[in-house]
Amino acid sequence: MTCSKRRIGDRDVHPVGLGCMNITHAYGPPLDEAEAQALLVRALDLGCEFLDTATIYGLGRSEALIGEALGHRRQEYFLASKCVLGFRDGQRVIDGRPEAIKAACEASLKRLRTDVIDLYYLHRPDPKVPVEESAGALADLVREGKIRFIGLSEMGEEQLRRAHAVHPVAALQSEYSLWVRNPEIAVLDACRELGTVLVAFSPVGRGFLADPPADPANFHASDMRLSMFPRFRPEYYPANLTLLVEAKAVAEEANCSLAQLAHAWTLAKGEHVIPIPGTARMAHLEENHAAPDVSLTAAQVARLDAHFAPERAAGPRYSPPGQASVTTEMFPFEQQAHG
């Protein structure tokens, strides 16, 4: 069957977008440039019209690769990027000051080889700058014609509403998957109320719900799952693997892959939800793109909801520094674990 598109901003796009972090860093060595550009071209050829990148990905390299590979096809895709979480002298920084946001946008426009970014997010909250000031800078960029819509990433309901009072927030990006259910605390419903798209990043649990490694100890030394995401640690990972037995059973019933099941579940959570899996593999790209053709029954969704109840995931979502950098809501048992 042909999947129905979903709206983000003023554009109807394929229900599964592409997160463009993996091509430059995160889960192992980056793709070489020819491979990365080939993957981006293939995504567009498939009809993947929503590309999501950020200043920090590869220290600007992800944006540059999109510009190099797809700049001449700019009208074919809805382009999102992010600021605030950036780099200075090769070091990661958080800077939500209006002047920093505007300078970051100018640099991104150059790397992306475009005159306008469709959706520009605040990648992380800057605890030193009220979200209203940062959102105001994005509103200025809209008025100047440099961006078209504004977004937030890894923020909770309070900051969403505060930013939305300054300028309509078109999208809120948050980690959302069977393995990470935190948006269900508040922002999933708040987004629906405000007309904001919930952009679900890591919808396959950083690979856990797609191609789960037998032993994370075999990850490449540069893989950030080793340091930032405790659920892959030896003390937690075996318990998490047991969750997949039921998921694989439902996937077999639905005649789909585990990754496609994860996407179909996410898509079933609301017409305002758009997952953006990232990948460095062409086969995974094509597998993800076909996921909207999978139909889950209400009973299957409910079964997965119960099996992946938030408290059943072993280990915290983020390391302490990672958790400290976001304001997404936590479940009570998570708050206790983080003190």
Looking at 65-208, which runs of residues are DSSP E strands? Answer: 78-83, 85-88, 91-94, 117-122, 147-153, 169-175, 197-201
d(CA 152, CA 154): 7
- The vertex-265 CA angle with 150 and 118, nearest 5°, equals 20
Rounded CA separation 141/292 (Å): 34
Residue 57 bears catalytic tag: yes
3-state secondary structure (DSSP) of residue 237: helix
Q: Which of 57, 176, 237, 318 is catalytic?
A: 57
Q: Which of 185, 178, 115 is nearest to 155 (CA)?
A: 185
How far is the C-alpha of 223 from the C-alpha of 156, rounded, in Å?
Answer: 27
User: Using an 8 Å Cβ cutoff, are 225 and 218 in contact?
Assistant: no
CA distance 113 to 268: 35
* Residues annotated as part of the active site: 57
